[in-house]
Structure 1
Amino acid sequence: MAVLAAIAVLAVLIVVHELGHFMAARLQGIYANRFSVGFGPILWKYQGSQTEYAVRALPLGGFVGFPDEDPDSDIPLDDPNLLSNRPILDRAIVISAGVIANLIFAYFLLVVQSGIVGIPDFVEKPGVLISSVAPQSSLVAENAGIKADDVILSVNSQDLPLGQDGLIYLQQKIQNSPNKSLSLKVQREETILDINLTPGLAPDGKGIIGVALQLNGEIIRKPAGNLMATLNSAAQEYQRITVLIVQGFGKLISNFQETANQVSGPIAIIDIGSKIASSDPFSLFQFAALISINLAIINILPLPALDGGQLAFLLIEGISGKPLPTVIQQNIMQTGLFLLLGLGIFLILRDTVNLLPASW
C-alpha cells in the first residue's frame, strides 16, 4: 500500500502538470487532441469527443498533444484555434501553465497539511543520534559496542551542543582524532554508558569509526489555529522548500561531478515516498509539495523537450519577429526528448539496481 501511495503521488503531480497545459488551451479555445500521462506504448486510452486520453508505459512525465503536430489531423492549417496560429502570449500561457499548476498545487498541499495535520517542526534534543552502524567502512564503532539508535551525549567529558552545532562538533572531533582514544558518554534508551574507542584512519587521512550520524530530536505537529495562520504557515514552508530546492540545483550545477549521483529518478522517488508513507503518512503532503515544486523548476529550465525550451523558442520569435524554421525546432525538440528519455531510463535502471539486495 505504501508503494501504491507513492506511485499515486507521482501520478497526481504529473496529471496536475498536464492539466495545467490542457486547461489553459481549452479555456482559450485552442484545440488539444491528446492528453497523456507517461511516454511510450499505450497501456490504456479513452477517446473523448475531441481528445484522446492515455496512460503510457514509461512514467517519466506526460504531454498534451495538439493537432498542429498531428499529420493525420483534418483541421485546416489556417484554423485560428490551432496553437501555432495563436499570438505569442496565448502560446506562452499554454506552455507555462503546467509549471504554474505545479506551483499552485504545491501551495495547496501545504495549506491542507498546515490546516489539518500541522507542518512538522523538528524539536532538538541533547546529543547526536547514531542512525546506523556501518561496519563496511570501519569496525571501530561495532567493536566498541555502539549500536544504531544510540545517542552520543559527550566526547572527552565535553557535552555536545544542541542541533547542527553538536553534529558538526562530533564529526570534526572524530575526523581530527585518527588513532587517538576518545571517551564517549552514550545514552541507550534509559541507560547511560561510558564507551572508549579509537577512530581508525580513513584513506583521506581523517578519523573514522563506521557510523552514520544525524540530529537527535523528534518531529511534532501543531495545526494552525485559524485561516490566516494556516495560509501564513503554508507560505513559510513553501518558501523554505523552494529555497532548499534552488540551492540544491545550484550545488548540482557548480559541483556536478560530486552531486550528479544524488539525482533521483522515478523509482528512487517512489521508494522515498513509500518509506514516508509507511513511517509517517501525513508527511506525504509535504513530500508531494516538494516534488511538485521540483517538477515546476525542472520544467522551466530552457532545455529542449521541456517547457522552458519551448518558451525559449517563443522568446526568439518575439525578438526576431519570426519563429525558427519548423524543421530546426523539431530536430532540437526530438534530440532533447531522446536525451531526456535516455536519462530517465538510466535513472530507472540505476535506482532499481540500488534497491536490489546487496547479495543479489
Structure 2
Amino acid sequence: MTSVLWSLIGFVLMMGVIVTVHEWGHFQVARWFNIKVTRFSVGFGKAIFQRRIGETDYQIGAIPLGGYVKFADEREGDVAAEDLPRAFNRQSVYKRIAVVSAGPLINLILALGVFWLMFLSGPVEVRALINSVPPSSPLAAELEAQNQNLDSSPLWQITEADGESIQGWKSLHQALLKALIAQETALQITIQPYDPVTGLQAKSLFLNLPLASLSLDEEKQPWFGMLGLKPAAIAMPAVVGRVLADSPAGLAGLREGDRILAFNGTTVQHWQDFVAMVQARPAEQVTLKIERAGVEQRYELMLNSVRGADGKAIGQAGVGVLVTEEAMQPYVQNLDYGVWGSLNEAWNYSRSMFEMSLKMLQRVIFGDISLSHLSGPLSIAQYSGEAIQSGWISFLSLLGLLSLSVGILNLLPIPVLDGGHLLYYLIEIVKGSPVSENAMQIGQMIGLFVIMSLTFVALFNDLIRISHG
C-alpha cells in the first residue's frame, strides 16, 4: 500500500512539472505574439480547480495524463470582433510554428536544466571494480587471447568504454546500452589495477567484448554477467547493520554496531567471509564471537534454511552489513564538476540520450526491436515512486529523462501531437495555402488511432511487467 501511495505521489509530481512546463511553453510564446489564450489546463477531464485571471481560465483537470492550451480560434467557435486580430488561425504560419514548437522545445530545455542540477549536486557512482573472471565468459576469452590474467591485482577498475570515460557501474551500463542500440558488435573497455589506498595504477589493458549474445528484447538478461563483468565484492568490515526482529540474529540478541570477530572459532576478516560461512550452514546452530563497546561476547544462533538462486539450501542469519561513508569511500567516486563542468556534462548527457532515443525509436518503427519496450503510465508511476524514495539525484534523473522523452514524442509528425501540426504548417509553406479542413480531420483520426493503439500496447506492457514482478 505504501509503494502505491509513493507511486501516485511521484507520478503526479513528475507529470505535473513536465506538463505544466510544456503547456507554459505554448502559452508564453502565444502571449509574446499577443495571441489570446482562453484556457490553460494541466490535466484533462472535469476541472477540480479553476480560476480566471485576466482573460485566461487556469484549471487542473481530474486526469493527470497531459494538458492543453486553448486559443481564440475561429475554427473552434465564435471569436469576438475585437479579438479577431488575436485569433490563432489568423496568425502567420511562422508565428504558429513558433507557438506549437515551443512546448516540445521547452521540455528539451527543462531536461538540460534538470541534468545540470543533477551533475551540480555532486552525484556518487560506485566504481566499476572486478576481481574475478567467470570461466567461459567473453572477458575470460579476451584475456586468454591476450595472454593476460587479473591475478596480479586484487581489484581492476573499468575506466573507459568505447572511448568514453566510465565513472562507475551506472555509466558503464549507459555505454553498453548505447552500443546495443547502435548495433555495435563489440564493447571496447579499458581496465586498470586499483588499490583502495593508493588509487589507480598506471598499467592498462584494452579488451574487446563481443555483444552478439546480448539482446535489447530480453529485458531480464544479466548483461554484465553474460560478458563476464562480475562486480567485485567490496571488502566491508564485519560490522552488523540492520537486524531483522524475528530472525536468528534478532532472536539471539545481536545489535547494530556489533563487530563479528569469529564464526565457529574461525576468524572473520570481512563481511563477505561471514556471509559465505553463514550460507554454507543452513539449519545449523553456530557460535559467534562479537565485540560490543570494547567487550567480547559469544552468541548461539540457529540459522534459517532458505533456497538460493540455484535451488540449493543456504543458511540465513537475518542480518545486514553496516554501510558507512568512511568504509565505502575507496569504492565510490564523488563527482564534483563545478558549475560550468556540470553544464558541459549535462549537455553531453542530453545529447547522448537524445541520439539514443531517436535510434531506439527508429529501430522500433522498422521492427528491429519489440514494442515491449514501450512503457505506459503505470510503469512511469512505479518508476516515479521508486525515484522519489531513492533521493534527490534519482528524482532529477527520471524527471530529466521523462521531460526529454515528452519533448521527442511531441515532435513526431503524427497528427494530434505538436509534430503533426508542424507537419501541416510545413505543407502550408510549400503549397502556399493551409491544409484543407477535410485533410486535417482525416489526419486527426489517423493520429488519434495511432496514439490510442500505442497507449493500449504500453498499458498492456505495464500490466505484463507488474504481473511478472
Q: Secondary structure at the match of 2:49?
A: strand
- Where does residue 148 of structure 1 map in the other structure? none
| Cα separation, 1, equivalents of 2:124 and 2:49 | 38
- Where does residue 198 of structure 1 map in the other structure? none
1:245 aligned residue (340, 353, 357): 357
Measured at CA, do residues 51 and 11 of structure 1 come closer, stay the same or move farther in structure 2, by a change above 3 Å?
Answer: same
1:190 aligned residue (256, 259, 272): 272
Report the alpha carbon displacement of residue 41 of structure 1 after superposing the two structures with TM. 3.5
1:14-60 Cα shifts (integer Å, max 9, x gaps): 11111000111011100111112233333332233312222223333
Counterpart AA for 1:93: A
2:49 aligned residue (44, 47, 63): 44
- Where does residue 16 of structure 2 map in the other structure? 11
CA contact (8 A) 2:12 2:64 kept: no
1:254 aligned residue (354, 360, 366): 366
Counterpart AA for 2:340: M
- Where does residue 67 of structure 2 map in the other structure? 62
- Where does residue 318 of structure 1 map in the other structure? 429
Counterpart AA for 1:45: Q
Report the alpha carbon displacement of residue 153 of structure 1 after superposing the two structures with TM. 4.2
| Cα separation, 1, equivalents of 2:467 and 2:50 | 33
| Cα separation, 2, equivalents of 1:324 and 1:185 | 58
CA contact (8 A) 2:371 2:457 kept: no
Counterpart AA for 1:39: F
| Cα separation, 2, equivalents of 1:47 and 1:185 | 57
Q: Secondary structure at the match of 2:100?
A: helix
TM-score (ref. length: structure 2) = 0.56
CA contact (8 A) 2:50 2:59 kept: yes
1:23 aligned residue (17, 20, 28): 28
Query: Does 2:235 match 1:124?
Result: no
Measured at CA, do residues 11 and 156 of structure 1 come closer, stay the same or move farther in structure 2, by a change above 3 Å?
Answer: same
Which is worse superposed, 75-84 or 280-289? 75-84
CA contact (8 A) 2:129 2:232 kept: no
Counterpart AA for 1:59: P
Query: Does 2:99 match 1:94?
Result: yes
Measured at CA, do residues 255 and 350 of structure 1 come closer, stay the same or move farther in structure 2, by a change above 3 Å?
Answer: closer
1:103 aligned residue (96, 108, 111): 108
Query: Does 2:392 match 1:281?
Result: yes
| Cα separation, 2, equivalents of 1:37 and 1:167 | 49
| Cα separation, 1, equivalents of 2:390 and 2:40 | 34
Measured at CA, do residues 156 and 323 of structure 1 come closer, stay the same or move farther in structure 2, by a change above 3 Å?
Answer: closer
Measured at CA, do residues 241 and 339 of structure 1 come closer, stay the same or move farther in structure 2, by a change above 3 Å?
Answer: closer
Counterpart AA for 2:45: G
Q: Secondary structure at the match of 2:14?
A: helix
- Taking only the aligned residue pairs, the percentage that are identical comes to 26
1:243-284 Cα shifts (integer Å, max 9, x gaps): 22222212222336x420110112211211222222343221
> Matched residue pairs, number?
303
Higher helix share: 1
1:194-223 Cα shifts (integer Å, max 9, x gaps): xxxxxxxxxxxxxxx989xxxxx9764423
| RMSD after superposition | 3.8
1:236 aligned residue (344, 348, 352): 348
| Cα separation, 1, equivalents of 2:233 and 2:459 | 40
Gap runs ≥5 in structure 1: 128-151, 176-183, 194-208, 212-216
Report the alpha carbon displacement of residue 6 of structure 1 after superposing the two structures with TM. 3.9
- Where does residue 34 of structure 1 map in the other structure? 39
Report the alpha carbon displacement of residue 319 of structure 1 after superposing the two structures with TM. 1.0
1:86-140 Cα shifts (integer Å, max 9, x gaps): 111111100100011111111111121222x12555631106xxxxxxxxxxxxx
- Where does residue 337 of structure 2 map in the other structure? 224
The structure having more radius of gyration, on CA atoms, is 2
Q: How does 1:131-142 map to 2 (within 5 A)?
A: none
CA contact (8 A) 1:123 1:219 kept: yes
| Cα separation, 2, equivalents of 1:254 and 1:81 | 43
| Cα separation, 2, equivalents of 1:23 and 1:58 | 23
Counterpart AA for 1:48: I
1:282-330 Cα shifts (integer Å, max 9, x gaps): 2211211111111111111110101110011111111111112223313
Counterpart AA for 2:48: L
Report the alpha carbon displacement of residue 228 of structure 1 after superposing the two structures with TM. 2.1
2:441 aligned residue (324, 330, 343): 330
Counterpart AA for 1:67: A
